[in-house]
Structure 1
Amino acid sequence: MSERMPRPAATDSHRPSRGLALSVLIVNQLLAGIGVATGMALAAILVADLTGVVAMGGLAQSASVLGAAIVAIPLARLAVRSGRHVALAVGYGLAAVGAVLVVAAATSGWALLVFVGLAAFGAAAASGLQARFAATEVAAPGFEARSMSLVLWATTIGSVAGPLLSETGDRVGAAFGLPHLVGPFVFSAVAFATSTLLVATLLRMPRAGVLETDALPDAAGRPTDADAAEVDEAVADAPVGKPVGSFAALREASHSPRSLFAILAIVCSHTVMVGVMVMTPIHMTQHGMSLNLVGLVLSIHILGMYGASPLMGWLVDRVGSVRVVLLGAAILVVAVVIGILAPGDDVLLVPLALGLLGLGWSAGMIGGSTLLTTSVDARLRVPLQGATDAAMNVAAAASAALSGLVLGAFGFAGVNMVALLVLVPLAVVGLRMAMVRRAAAA
């Protein structure tokens, strides 16, 4: 498909309504948040019960995250070819099918099919992550991070309510004769089916990968950042007309210190969050905590992830994405240190650690995603977004799988120590980027 240069919004009479598109994305994220959080809150415990092996609980999140990684690039390609609304509808439709498969598999006791269902379930996470980039495409110039943060914030209500609905879903499932812990996945299937219909019928977006700033004159159209006004020339000045594959875009962007820093901010933040979060329910139940308390702690964690996202978006637009990424990394360090030192049955420190873990993720994800979007040419934008989300989810899947083994061998403190090591590459590249900028300034 040939590339066309975007026209300024003021002269494009066919451009979809920015307000309507953002509103649909926000409502859809609320529904999808309910779907993801309701089922995944108890997925690890469900798998551990079905298999009889605690370490297998980590594979539940691994299957879901790996499923998100598998579909991230195809959904990005579909967004370019057919539009964001088609890609999002396909993603949520797959998630609805996955939730139904989990219900069927758990009812029949076939553990292997549960992992297949959870992998399809992960398509919802991939779609939700793609929605954050879609929000930047309907944002006014200079408000990209804030638009992204509003869409992520909308997930707060659904994601916080989801774990709290787990007990209710379990009771409803039991009333219909479903096994223990299976009922919440019925709620998830309904939420994803509704999301699919919503985006397929109401969401209309501008061409995927095109920002409002791309249509402005060069002086105003170049993305700015309080930390560095320049965009890396090797990436920004690449030819516009030639389509680029996801892995080629990832390879090309990795030569830019700023783009590489953005990629690692997303990958490392998500990997740390998933690795610690997925083992927390098992860790808590091993210390005698109830499902209601587990749900409350996960709700606090998700509130940290999404509740503060408008603040993070405002900070990115005000002080720069690099500074916000560094803030997020510092918060993640504090969270995992508390996780290392806190007693397993501490009802104050464990929620604090999980809340900070979500807050650090929010800063790293919004700061890194904004930096990724604004540091490359439009030609690379959508393919690079898909490749980065795929890499992020592959790393997180490995982290979730490893966390189960680490929990069994070294306890929850060991899980947090491994998470601390994951942040090292981000620190190294951040230092290299600072040195390159200092040398250039000198």
Structure 2
Amino acid sequence: MPRAGRRVPRERRRGLALGILIVNQLLAGIGVASGMALAAILVADLTDVLAMGGLAQSSSVLGAAIVAIPLAKLAVRSGRHVALAVGYALAAVGALLVIAAATSAIAPLVFLGLAAFGAGSAAGLQARFAATEVAAPGFEARSMSLVLWATTIGSVAGPLLSETGDRVGTALGLPPLVGPFIFSAFAFAISTLLVATLLRMPKAGVLASEAVAARGSDVAGDADPTDVDPVDAIDAVDADATGAAPAASVGSLMALRIAVREPLALFAILAIVCSQTVMVGVMVMTPVHMIEHGLSLNLVGLVISIHILGMYGASPLMGWLVDRVGSVRVILLGAGILVVAAVIGILAPGGDMLLIPLALGLLGLGWSAGMIGGSTLVTTSVEARIRVPLQGATDAAMNLAAALSAALSGVVLGAFGFAGVNMVALLVLVPLAVVGLRLMVQRRAESV
């Protein structure tokens, strides 16, 4: 028989878990953005080499790639809340290392600090998968999109705090440009405490819908399975209840090998990796391109803000679309938007303040569709035993590709201009288009 009087506590418990993830993503956004807004200038000043400033972003992205798989393993072994807490704690330590490096003028230490700082981004990415595990059945993508949407607030608020942070740091006797990392360390420390003390997600990789299906009769008797609290079900279900072997028995590389043999999973992985690679490659060179054509820093900031709004502001819409029409269609929509953005980038004059913002806004929108559609499909298209290891491997591949894209985009810009950067972006989308076309042909053949 169903347990009476549980509906309000159920909704409150599920909402609490999702709310903690949303608040954490907001704090993580502030932590990353407030420090990284001035990181390139800080590195350039510390090393006295202007070109070294570009390595600040690369160090952080590489750090995120390095910790993605270990955090996924930790999530399987000890729970998402432990993995998230460790990721945010590493980021807080990284911020402190950056402060120490700038204070002591030890340049190599700043790169180590920025690499550890990247763990905050890796934890924030893992939070999007955690959101699907506390979502009500059928609302996985929308829950993920809400967690990503919270990044909008943090990403906008972080840079706005940079000047205040610099003043605070100067008042404390720290070198210029170091103060914002105090705010970063503080934000990540709060995030660490928040997830470590309040968030409990013991079954990483088990979706609420699967747990409900597996334990519906035990938890809810003869009641409608959709009335079962997913958090209760996840607490009760073990690996055997979902028909899966223990996830810890599968490594990330093995999970990746298994997944790429399946067209649907391969399509999902390519959607995430290609979307991130295209977005980073074009976005990091846009400010350089605009400055070369005489545009002001204020206009550059406006264009980047439009880009960030496209990335995160529309994420609830993308989540709703995924739950309504399916991940594959939204991924294809995202790929189409990215193609349009790249074509506009190829054709737009460097000083055009109508087409450049339009291209960057569409670039963010296409990324949002590809990331949410791809992340949802990665989660739902594979068996439970490889889900979390695959998520870690995909995020690692995504960040490695983004780091390479950021490094090579400057070379392409110097040799072929901004149009060349966007042409390369179109080439990056070719594998996604090929696999997507093959998937559509296969589905059409199966429906005949």
**1:439 CA drift (Å):** 2.5
2:182 and 2:308 map into 1 onto residues whose CA distance is: 21
Mapped to 1, the partners of 2:410 and 2:107 lie a distance apart of 17
Identity, % of aligned positions: 81
**In the TM superposition, what are the counterparts of 1:276-291 in structure 2 within 5 Å?**
276-291=282-297
Q: Which one of 346, 349, 358 corresponds to residue 352 of structure 1?
A: 358
Higher RCO (CA < 8 A, seq sep 6+): 1
Amino acid of the residue matched to residue 38 of structure 2?
L
Q: Are 1:395 and 2:401 an aligned pair?
A: yes
Whether 1:301 aligns to 2:307 is yes
Preserved contact between residue 37 and residue 162 of structure 1 (Cα < 8 Å) = yes
Distance 1:116 1:283 in 2: 29
Find the partner of 1:122 among 118, 122, 127. Answer: 118
Does the alignment pair 1:312 with 2:307?
no
Distance 1:441 1:54, change over 3 A: farther
Q: In the alignment, which residue of structure 2 is the partner of 1:210?
A: 206
SS at match of 1:122: helix
Tell me the equivalent position of 1:256. Answer: 262
Q: Which residue of 1 aligns with 2:39?
A: 43
Mapped to 2, the partners of 1:205 and 1:269 lie a distance apart of 29
Task: Find the counterpart in structure 2 of residue 83 from structure 1.
Answer: 79
Cα distance in 2, alignment partners of residues 324 and 32 from structure 1: 27
Q: Considering only aligned residues, what root-mean-square deviation do their CA atoms show, in Å? A: 2.7
| Equivalent position amino acid for 1:419 in 2 | A
CA 1:53/1:109 → structure 2, altered by over 3 Å: closer, same or farther?
same
1:169 aligns with 2:165: yes
Q: Distance in 1 between matches of 2:141 and 2:294?
A: 41
Is it true that 1:267 corresponds to 2:263 in the alignment?
no
Following superposition, the deviation at residue 16 of structure 1 comes to 9.8
Q: Choose 1 or 2 for highest CA Rg.
A: 2
Q: Verify the 8 A CA contact 2:102 2:110 in the aligned structure 1.
A: yes
* Offset, 1:331: 1.4
- Given candidates 47, 51, 60, the residue that maps to 1:64 is 60
CA shift, 1:60, in A, is: 2.1
Residues 1:430 and 2:436 aligned together: yes
Residue 191 of structure 1 corresponds to 187
Q: Does the Cα contact within 8 Å between 2:61 and 2:400 map onto a contact in 1?
A: yes
Deviations 1:163-186 (A, max 9, x none): 233333334444445444333222
Report the CA distance shift for 1:168/1:35 in structure 2 as closer, same or farther (over 3 A): same
Question: SS at 1:130's partner residue?
Answer: helix
Q: Provide the C-alpha distance between the structure 2 equivalents of 1:351 and 1:331, rounded to a whole number of angstroms.
A: 14
Give the match for residue 411 of structure 1.
417
Q: TM-score, normalised by structure 1?
A: 0.87
Q: Which among 239, 244, 258 is matched to residue 240 of structure 1?
A: 244
> Structure 1 residues 298 and 42, CA, compared in 2 at 3 Å: closer, same or farther?
farther
- Structure 1 residues 298 and 185, CA gap change in structure 2 (3 angstroms): farther
User: For the residues of structure 1 that align with 2:170 and 2:87, how far apart are their CA atoms?
Assistant: 29
Instruction: Name which of structure 1's ranges 207-216 and 343-352 shifts more when overlaid on structure 2.
Output: 343-352
- Work out the CA distance in 2 between the residues paired with 1:46 and 1:438: 54
In structure 2, what residue type is equivalent to 1:66? L
Separation in 2, partners of 1:103, 1:388: 31
Q: Tell me, which stretches of 5 or more residues in structure 1 are unaligned? A: 1-9, 222-237
Q: Unaligned regions of 5+ residues in structure 2, if any?
A: 1-5, 215-223, 226-241
Distance 1:181 1:337 in 2: 37
Q: Is the CA contact 1:84–1:134 (under 8 Å) kept in the aligned structure 2?
A: yes
The residue matched to 2:196 in structure 1 has which SS? helix
Distance 1:163 1:337 in 2: 30
Q: How far apart are the structure 1 equivalents of 2:439 and 2:50?
A: 42
- Residue 344 of structure 2: SS of its match in structure 1? helix
In 1: Cα distance, 2:382 partner to 2:397 partner: 18
Cα distance in structure 1, aligned partners of 2:299 and 2:33 = 15
Going by fraction, where is helix more abundant, 1 or 2? Answer: 2
| 67, 70, 74: which one aligns with 1:74 | 70
Task: Output the CA distance in 1 between the equivalents of 2:105 and 2:294.
Answer: 26
Please report how far the alpha carbon of residue 147 of structure 1 lies from its aligned counterpart in structure 2 after TM superposition.
0.7
Distance 2:152 2:320 in 1: 17
SS at match of 1:343: coil
Please give the per-residue CA displacement for 1:196-241, whole angstroms capped at 9, x wherever unaligned.
Answer: 11111111124111112213448x99xxxxxxxxxxxxxxxx9722
Shift of 1:53: 5.0
| Whole-angstrom CA distance in 2 between matches of 1:293 and 1:172 | 27
Q: Is the 8 A contact 2:78 2:202 kept in 1?
A: no
Q: Indicate conservation of the 8 Å contact 1:141/1:213, yes or no.
A: yes
Once the two structures are TM-superposed, the CA of residue 85 in structure 1 deviates from its matched residue by 0.9
Amino acid at match of 1:352: L
2:134 aligns with 138
User: Quick one: which amino acid aligns to residue 445 of structure 2?
Assistant: A
Deviation at 1:15, TM superposition (A): 12
Distance in 1 between residues matched to 2:306 and 2:186, nearest whole Å: 24
Q: Among residues 378, 381, 396, which one is paired with 2:384 in the alignment?
A: 378
Contact 1:265 1:364 in 2 (8 A): yes
Give the match for residue 441 of structure 1. Answer: 447
